[in-house]
Amino acid sequence: MATMALPRPATTAPRSLTRATGESRAVRWTLTAIALVFLALTLVLPLALVFHEAFSKGLAAYVAAIREPDALSAARLTLLIASIAVPINLVFGVAAAWCIAKFEFPGKNLLITLIDLPFAVSPVISGMIFVLLLGTNGWFGSWLQEHDIKIIFAVPGMVLATTFVTAPFIARELIPLMQEQGADEEEAAIVLGAGGWQTFFRITLPNIKWGLLYGLILCNARAMGEFGAVSVVSGHIRGETDTLPLHVEILYNEYAFAASFAVASVLTLLALVTLTLKTLVEWQQKRSASDAAEPARILERTVA
């Protein structure tokens, strides 16, 4: 633009404002290019590679790899584990967030820290903890053996490990949201005669539904994709204690590359679906947030 070079009158405030915080064109282009190249190398290229390798022996081999009995059993187990772990964490997450956001009690900070623990600990260590507690030589191992209860190297252990690793997702998503909303609406509902459950289902839940859905999607994605913790407690029995991520590793270690990538592509598709859903929910969340935005909403209650 030719006008860019002209000295600007002082009245064009918005333009001089963007200049104050902006960068020169060269810097902007360079930074954008670096970001794009980085993304291409670390995200797009691996993603493309997964599908390229998966189809490297043709469509028939791809379908065969996915329909193979062990792969199907792994898929079933993955779904089973997620269908147990996710609801448990849904209940735990909502309950924990409700407690933390709406009430004051001693030990609240400790609870918040504990909720974050699974994020702070390496998943492999999480798995080890369960082995040490419940394994044959673990603290409760002999008791469990006496009563013929099998947890480690069996499905219950994998569910436990997955539940532990995915515990923070929903609570973490809801706590800031519920804290921001405060307890005013709940108090209003109770004064109007609503009971505890009525207040929860009619007031609290509608206000957090998008945040809750977002947390659920992330929690589910992690539950299906978890490798480290589940690997430690699974025992790798083909067709029995094998989830999709573990199955990918087994196939890879057996040099069945095309089959391995075919199964991996299923998980990748799951990731893409998750991302799409996540974006949709985020968009909805933003819409309902701006919908409900009250100007001059003061959060802290003074003891006036």
Q: Where does this chain bind another protein (CB under 8 A)?
A: 184-185, 187-195, 198, 202-203, 206-207, 288, 291-294, 296-298, 301-304
Cβ 94 to another protein shortest distance, Å: 17
Q: Which is nearer to another protein, 5 or 191 (CB)?
A: 191
Considering beta carbons, is residue 2 or 296 the nearer one to another protein?
Answer: 296
CA-to-CA distance for 167 and 97, rounded, in angstroms?
12
* Shortest Å distance, C-beta 302 to another protein: 6
> What's the chain's Rg over C-alpha atoms?
25
Rounded-to-integer distance, Cα 212 and Cα 197, Å: 17
Tokens 């909303």 correspond to what residue?
181
Say which residue the tokens 């993603």 belong to: 47
Which residues are CB-contacts of 217 (< 8 A; sequence separation ≥ 6)? Answer: 274, 277, 278, 281
- Cβ proximity to another protein: between 148 and 300 the closer is 300
CA distances from 110 to 2, 18, 97, 168, 169 (A): 61, 44, 13, 14, 17
Q: Which of 92, 106, 107, 296 is nearest to 175 (CA)?
A: 92
As a whole number of angstroms, the distance between CA 5 and CA 283 comes to: 40
The distance of closest approach from Cβ of residue 7 to another protein in the complex, given in angstroms and rounded to an integer, is: 42
Closer CB to another protein, residue 24 or residue 302?
Answer: 302
Give the dihedral sign, CA 13/15/17/20: negative
Q: How far is the CB of 129 from another protein (least distance, A)?
A: 38
Find the shortest distance in angstroms from Cβ 64 to another protein. 50
Q: Is 32 exposed, middle or buried (0-12, 13-18, 19+ CB in 10 A)?
A: exposed
Instruction: Report, in Å, the least distance between residue 199 CB and another protein.
Output: 8
Q: Which is nearer to another protein, 160 or 208 (CB)?
A: 208
Q: Which is nearer to another protein, 53 or 185 (CB)?
A: 185
Cβ nearer to another protein, comparing 268 with 284: 284
Nearest approach in angstroms of CB 96 to another protein is 23
